[in-house]
């Protein structure tokens, strides 16, 4: 079974600075998808960024980018120019597929605080 | 497009009572998921529907939890009888295909069992 590990329960960053959230995963598959989701107090999980494992180029979405290290099974999220609205729980997720059945497995999350 | 709708937003019940949650996915999304998120943890998949058929319910506590998706659209998740450890946020999500572009989540129902 796939596992997703987020080793930082909490992180804080000064507004306008850069922060990196860590995620590692365990899998025997060669082709898969990875995601970062943001969960603000409203509880809705919002997709931040997506990475396809067969693509070596790191995904980027505006101020959000990832450092995808396939051999190390590492998938970190970098947030540049942090804003107060970035404060939330961030979850790393792995999409697995087994005989046509697919599902997302989530890590335990990192609570990000933005310091004004 | 409208998002995934869930109700109620909050629910407080006593242990051994029953409760039901409702989810309306994005129009046209064939796949619907129910996740349980206990405080301090990531969401855990309870059940996955493809249209109105169950694809995966391996982590659903079937002695007390049940779910249905009539006509392949709306879905309800029921707990009967509830236990204290069922206190959690119940998230519904949907996707149009195989989820390779992620899922769209609703805002969840926060259940407190006292």
User: Which residues from B are below 8 Å from A when comparing CB atoms?
Assistant: 3, 33, 40-45, 48, 55-56, 89, 91, 93, 98-108, 110
Of B3, B99, B106, the CB nearest to A104: B99
Q: Any CB–CB contact under 8 A between A108 and chain B?
A: yes
Residue of B nearest to A38 (CA): B105
pLDDT digits (tens, 9 = 90+) for A63-74: 999 999 999 999
Say what the pLDDT of residue B106 is.
95
- Give one DSSP letter per residue of B80-101, joined into a string: SS--GGG-EEEEEEEESSSSTT
Contacts of B34 (CB under 8 A, 6+ apart): B23, B45, B46, B47, B48, B67, B75, B77, B90, B91, B92
Query: What would the mean pLDDT of A2-25 be, rounded to a whole number?
Result: 96
Mean pLDDT of A1-25: 95
Q: How far is CA B114 from CA A68, B13, B46, B84, B90, in A?
A: 43, 6, 22, 6, 17
CA distance A90 to chain B (A): 10
Residues in chain B within 8 Å Cβ distance of A107: 42
User: Is there a contact between B107 and A35 if contact means CB atoms under 8 Å apart?
Assistant: no
How much is the pLDDT for A1?
Answer: 67
Min Cα distance B1 → chain A (Å) is 15
Is A101's CB within 8 Å of B56's CB?
A: yes
**Helix, strand, coil abundance in chain B, percent, nearest 5:** 5, 50, 45
Residue A103 contacts B where some CB pair is shorter than 8 Å? yes
Specify the pLDDT at position A82: 98
Instruction: Please tell me the number of Cα atoms within 13 Å of B65 on its side-chain side.
Output: 19
- Interface mutation target, options B21, B96, B102, B111, chain A, most CBs of A under 10 Å: B102
How far apart are alpha carbons B14 and A59 in whole angstroms? 46
At residue B1, the pLDDT reads 60
Rounded average pLDDT over B69-94: 95
Sign of the torsion formed by the C-alpha atoms of B91, B92, B93 and B98: positive
Contacts of A35 in chain B (CB under 8 A): 102
A83-95 pLDDT, tens digit per residue, is: 999 999 999 999 9
pLDDT above 70: residue B82: yes
A35 shares contact with chain B (CB less than 8 Å)? yes
């Amino acid at each position: 079974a796939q596992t997703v590990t987020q080793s930082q329960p909490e992180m804080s960053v000064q507004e306008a600075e850069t922060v990196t959230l860590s995620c590692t995963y365990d899998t025997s598959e060669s082709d898969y998808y990875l995601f970062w989701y943001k969960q603000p107090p409203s509880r809705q999980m919002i997709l931040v960024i997506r990475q396809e494992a067969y693509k070596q180029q790191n995904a980027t979405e505006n101020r959000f980018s990832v450092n995808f290290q396939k051999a190390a099974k590492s998938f970190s999220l970098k947030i540049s120019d942090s804003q107060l609205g970035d404060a939330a729980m961030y979850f790393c997720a792995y999409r697995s597929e087994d005989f046509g059945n697919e599902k997302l497995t989530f890590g335990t999350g990192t609570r990000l605080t933005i310091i004004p | 497009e409208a998002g995934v709708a869930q109700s109620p937003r909050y629910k407080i019940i006593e242990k051994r009572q029953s409760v039901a949650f409702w989810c309306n996915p994005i129009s046209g999304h064939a796949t619907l998921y129910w996740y349980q998120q206990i405080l301090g943890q990531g969401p855990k998949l309870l059940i996955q529907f493809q249209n109105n058929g169950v694809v995966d319910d391996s982590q659903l506590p079937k002695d007390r939890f049940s779910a249905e998706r009539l006509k392949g659209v709306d879905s309800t998740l029921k707990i009967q009888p509830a236990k204290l450890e069922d206190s959690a946020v119940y998230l519904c999500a949907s996707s149009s295909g195989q989820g390779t572009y992620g899922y769209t989540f609703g805002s969840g129902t926060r259940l407190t069992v006292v």
